[in-house]
Amino acid sequence: MKNNNNSQNGKQKELTPDKENGAGEFLTTNQGLKINDNQNSLKAGERGPTLLEDFILREKITHFDHERIPERIVHARGSGAHGVFELYESQEKYTKANFLNDTSAKTPVFVRFSTVAGSRGSTDLARDVRGFSVKFYTQEGNYDFVGNNMPVFFIQDAIKFPDLIHAVKPEPHNEIPQAASAHDTFWDFISLMPESTHMIMWLMSDRAIPRSYRMMEGFGVHTFRLINAEGKGSFVKFHWKPLLGVHSVAWDEAKKISGNDPDFHRRDLWDAIESGAFPEWELGLQIIPEEDEHKFDFDILDPTKLIPEEIVPVQLVGKMTLNRNPDNFFAETEQIAFHPGHLVPGLDFSNDPLLQGRLFSYTDTQLSRLGSPNFHEIPINRPVNGVHNNQRDGHMRQTISTSRTSYEPNSIGGNFPVQAKEAEGGFTSYQERIDAKKIRDRSDSFFDHFSQAKLFYNSQSEVEKNHLVDALKFELGKVEIVDIRKRMVGILTQVDMELAKKVATGLGLDVPAAPEKPINHGVPADADPAKYESKTGSSSLKVSAALSMSNTPKNSIKSRVIAVLATDGVNGAQLNATKKALLAGGAQAKIVATHGGFIKDDTGAEIKVDFTFLTTASVLFDAVYIPGGAPSITAIKAEADAVHFVTEAFKHCKAIAAEAEGAELLKAALIPMDKSKTPLGVLADQQPADFVNAIANHRFWEREKKPDVPA
């Protein structure tokens, strides 16, 4: 049977009913309605809230939410832990939320970290955004912080979210590549959407390959509201600052970790908690008085923008500590259900159009993934203060309701459960005046797509800039369609001409002579293209120190994992002295030897072996220590894998310490040991305290790409 469809040129086109090809056709809804604007959700005014009546948005996101079962469509690969949140100082000036007022409370939390694009079986070390979500089990109900490790996002309106994720997922014809953005469809979409430029700077930076979940920041992304007991509102941006600092791995290292231990981040979090090295973050608030909403040179409702900390300082108000691993991964980490709409009194939304769409999407996707409207009854999702309402039955119902009444008002049950007044803790939405036309449009204040991308790039250290350039060359080098590469280089000229030239040269493309104005292809059919043209605003702030990881704290070796290369005949006194210093600093020292079981030091004492050179790799450690002992070094030098272990650690800019004969292994690894030119971070015969200080520095990126790097 054939089916006749009308194409846009009026000609009849024959298609079988089970096949579809959009070539030459108009964009339509699932009911065949031609879509005029696929770029903006329906709002009450340009900067107003998204309207529930937007059937196009709801149809598109509903279909997207139900495309995959049973794992999450995004953030499928994750890991989590239990902990507590403790407040430093009451925030009652800004909010009536009890958990932000009561300094004596220890609010239970569950945190889930994740990658965005990959499946549940993908690697932890993919170049990707990381999810950072916190469920607070407060006495007023559950509050969910649903954020990322980057403060901005790719798109400005939720109606584009399915398009973004469809583009970044493996290509549909061959399901390749997994958990990677280095392919044509992603960069095709990005190169046509200039609003993504700022986020691309973050994604191509070292923030996308963190050393650990414990060493990355968390951001709420959107602007939210705080409301105090008097009903006064303030805008707020949420931050999580890790006490261990913000650290990354090298890209070459990330690729090798993926092969050696794809569970690297998951294992790291688990092991740290099991060993008592509890991860800690401080909660920070950027608070903006309502009267200051329009005083910035960007729109605070635009999710592709951040508020620089130099303009609005981050106030650190409390600390979160993760202190208990899950008892069952599936029951807790996999079944936990987050939703940005899970609020408590004193918190509310802004009209950010991406946030407004998320408020619909999350419930819908939980219904699909967990299969029931009763997903809140799964133990990990239950609020600690109890649930009392007239909702009954449904698939997988757990609660046994004994009351005759399942409606309100009622007299049979004494009209219970009863509504709560605001003074009794009842939630009331913030009263915001809205008087606007229904419209599919975007505020003019959303069209500066490059100023903050410039700010981010200019704020990076030289090493970070080099890494960002290499990431762009790698990603775009995987793109097969040359026109996509050219479009992206054109967009990069709007960020920084030198950046664009370096990327273009690496891709073998002509270097643009001047910045190229990109064309925004995300324009509604009947809109004036000039309105959607990308604008580059001016900012008095040229550099923000908070945006560079080089400024992160580097004063602790707590939970760092140090490889100790040793075998029979090792100098026991040297090994024990350095190991003692490492353990005192909170680090872990792991013996890597030529064989398993036990080795004997030069006094005959037995030492347990943790790994052999066959069962581990340098990329799984933060630093390397080589104690002396001639028999030990002679045996290790004969192991090609051992020599490579040291060479690779040097290449990845890690701290390396050697004592006495241990220096011979450094020479075998082709590390220059001329005392007048000893590379940064390489120590020979220094005190254990010097090695501890070197590890705390995290990496010695300055020695990257130097002539003396042996690999």
Angstrom CA distances, 681 to 413, 549, 671, stand at: 73, 18, 12
Catalytic residue, chosen from 40, 75, 376, 698, is 75
Cα dihedral sign for 112, 117, 121, 122? negative
Which amino acid belongs to residue 572?
G
Active site residue 6: no
Please give the Cα distance from 287 to 671 (Å, whole number): 50
Catalytic residue, chosen from 101, 142, 148, 351, is 148
Please give the Cα distance from 323 to 53 (Å, whole number): 44
CA count, 13 A, side-chain hemisphere, 277:
22
* H or E stretch at 626: strand 623-626
Strands 598-600 and 606-608: antiparallel
* H or E stretch at 282: strand 280-289
Please give the Cα distance from 569 to 591 (Å, whole number): 14
Orientation angle between helical segments 55-65 and 161-168, nearest 10 degrees: 30
β-strand partners of 42: 440
Cα distance between the two ends of the chain: 63
Chain center to CA of 317: 22
Please give the Cα distance from 122 to 72 (Å, whole number): 13
The owner of tokens 């604008």 is 535
Tokens of 103: 């300094």
* The Cα angle at residue 487 between residues 485 and 490, in degrees rounded to 5: 110
| 296 CB-contact burial (10 Å; exposed 0-12 / middle 13-18 / buried 19+) | middle
How many CB atoms within 10 Å of residue 245?
20
Dihedral (Cα; 64, 65, 66, 71), 10-degree rounding: 120
Angstrom CA distances, 622 to 247, 440, 678, stand at: 11, 51, 20
Question: Under 8 Å CB-to-CB from 448, ≥6 apart: which residues?
Answer: 297, 298, 534, 535, 536, 537
Task: Please name which of 623, 642, 590 lies closest in space to residue 699, comparing C-alpha atoms.
Answer: 623
Task: Tell me if the bond preceding 49 is cis, omega within 30° of 0.
Answer: no
Question: Under 8 Å CB-to-CB from 329, ≥6 apart: which residues?
Answer: none
Task: Please name which of 697, 543, 513, 520 lies closest in space to residue 623, comparing C-alpha atoms.
Answer: 697
Please give the Cα distance from 468 to 495 (Å, whole number): 13
Please give the Cα distance from 207 to 216 (Å, whole number): 8
Tokens of 691: 């090695």
Buried b (16+ CB within 10 A) or exposed e, 685-707: eeebeebbbbbbbbbbbebeeee
Please give the Cα distance from 355 to 340 (Å, whole number): 8
Cα dihedral sign for 691, 696, 698, 700? negative
How many CB atoms within 10 Å of residue 297?
15
Output 473-478 pairs: Cβ under 8 A, ≥24 positions apart: 473/502, 473/503, 473/506, 473/507, 474/182, 474/251, 475/127, 475/181, 475/182, 475/187, 475/204, 476/182, 476/187, 476/503, 476/507, 477/182, 477/506, 477/507, 478/177, 478/182, 478/183
Active site residue 555: no
Residues labelled catalytic: 75, 148
